Chains A and B, each alone.
Chain A
Amino acid sequence: MMATSPSKTTNVQDFPNGAGAAAVLAAGVGSFLVALFALIADKSTAIKSAMIFYKPTGPLSGVTTCAIAAWLLVWLVLDRRWSGRTVAMGRVRAAALALLILAVLLTFPPIADLF
Chain B
Amino acid sequence: MEITAHSFWTLIHGMGFGALYLMACSGALVELYRRYSPAARAAEVEDDRFLGYYLFAMAVLAWLTVLTGAYIIYPWYRAAPPAGAMDLTAFPQRLLLSDPATSAWHSIGMEWKEHVAWIVPISTTMAAVVFARHGRNLRVQPELRGAVFGLVWISLLCACIAGLFGAMINKHAPVEGGTTIHLTHGGQK
Contacts and interface: CB of A to CB of B under 8 A. Distances in A.
B70 A57 contact: yes
Contacts of A68: 118, 122
Interface in A6-35: 12-13, 15, 17, 19-21, 23-24, 26-28, 30-31, 34-35
Contact of B151 (A35, A96, A110): A96
Given A19-B134, A20-B134, A109-B107, A93 B70 contact: no
B15 interface: no
B75 A57 contact: yes
A25 to B, nearest CB: 9
Which of B71, B115, B129, B141 lies at the interface centre, i.e. has the most chain A CB atoms within 10 A of its CB? B115
A56 to B, nearest CB: 3
A90 B146 CA distance: 9
B8 interface: no
Contacts of A26: 126
Given A24-B148, A27-B123, A104-B119, A60 B140 contact: no
B141 A34 contact: no
Interface residues of A, number: 42
A54 interface: yes
Contacts of B130: 19-20, 23-24
Q: What secondary structure prevails in chain A residues at the interface with B?
A: helix
Contacts, number: 121
Interface in A56-108: 56-58, 60-61, 63-64, 67-68, 71, 89-90, 92-93, 96-97, 100-101, 103-104, 107-108
Contact of B123 (A21, A100, A109): A100
B129 to A, nearest CB: 5
A34 B74 contact: no
A38 interface: yes
19 contacts: A13-B140, A17-B141, A19-B130, A20-B134, A20-B144, A21-B147, A23-B133, A24-B126, A24-B147, A31-B118, A34-B118, A35-B115, A63-B115, A93-B143, A97-B150, A97-B154, A100-B119, A101-B154, A108-B112
